[in-house]
A and B are shown apart, each in its own frame.
Chain A
Amino acid sequence: MARKQSSGKRLGVTLLAWAVAFVIFFPILWTFITSFKSELDAIAMPPKFLFFNWTLENYAEVQQRSNYLKYASNSIVLSVGANVVGLLFAVPAAWAMAFAPGKRAKDLLLWMLSTKMMPGVGVLVPIYLLFRDMGLLDSLWGIGLVLMLLNLPILVWMLYTYFKEIPAEILEAARVDGASLYDEIVYVLTPMATPGIASTMLLAIILSWNEAFWTLNLATSNAAPLTAFIASYSAPEGFFWAKLSAASTLAIAPILVLGWISQKQLVRGLTFGAVK
Chain B
Amino acid sequence: MATRNTAAAGRLLVAPSVILLFVWMIVPLAMTLYFSSLRYSLLDPDKIGFVALQNYAAFLSDPNFIAALVNTLVLVGAVLAISVCGGILVALLMDQPVIGQNALRLMVIAPFFVMPTVSALVWKNLLMNPDSGLFAWIAQSLGLSPVVWFTNHPMLSVVIVVSWEWLPFASLILLTALQSLDEEQKEAAALDGAGPVSFFFYIVLPHIARAITVVILIETIFLLSVFAEIYVTTTGGPGVATTNIAFLVYKEALLDFDVGAASAGGVIAVILANVVAMFLMRIVGKNLEA
Contact = CB atoms under 8 A, between A and B. Distances in A.
Interface of A: 1-3, 5, 10, 13-14, 16-18, 20-22, 24-25, 27-28, 30-31, 34, 42-47, 89-90, 92-93, 95-97, 99-102, 105-106, 108-110, 112-130, 149, 152-153, 156, 168, 172, 181, 206, 209-210, 212-213, 216-217, 226-228, 230-231, 233-234, 241, 244-245, 248, 251-252, 255-256, 258-260, 263, 266-267, 270-276
12 contacts: A28-B114, A93-B16, A96-B10, A100-B7, A113-B281, A119-B246, A130-B28, A233-B121, A248-B121, A259-B112, A275-B173, A275-B214
Contact of A231 (B127, B180, B231): B231
B21 A27 contact: no
B183 to A, nearest CB: 7
Given A123-B28, A234-B121, A90 B111 contact: no
Nearest to B245: A121
Nearest to A184: B6
Interface residues of B, number: 114
Contacts of B116: 210, 212, 227
B9 A17 contact: no
Contact of B273 (A119, A130, A266): A119
Contact of B11 (A102, A130, A181, A210): A102
B107 A30 contact: no
B81 interface: no
Contacts of B52: none
A109 B246 CA distance: 27
A274 B225 contact: no
Contacts of A22: 107
B119 interface: yes
Contacts, number: 337
Contacts of B1: 168, 172
Given A118-B25, A149-B24, A276-B176, A14 B98 contact: yes
Nearest to A156: B17
Nearest to B132: A43
Contacts of A34: 126
Given A100-B2, A209-B115, A213-B228, A115 B221 contact: no
Given A100-B9, A212-B117, A252-B115, A30 B17 contact: no
Contacts of A110: 281, 284-285, 288
A168 B1 CA distance: 8
A17 B21 contact: no
B96 A17 contact: yes
A72 B246 CA distance: 27
B269 A230 contact: no
Majority SS at the chain A contact face:
helix
A121 B110 CA distance: 28
Interface string B119-141: 10111011100011010110011
Given A45-B132, A126-B28, A21 B122 contact: no
B114 A93 contact: no
A34 to B, nearest CB: 6
Contact of B113 (A96, A181, A255, A267): A255
A271 B90 CA distance: 19
Contacts of A209: 115
B53 interface: no
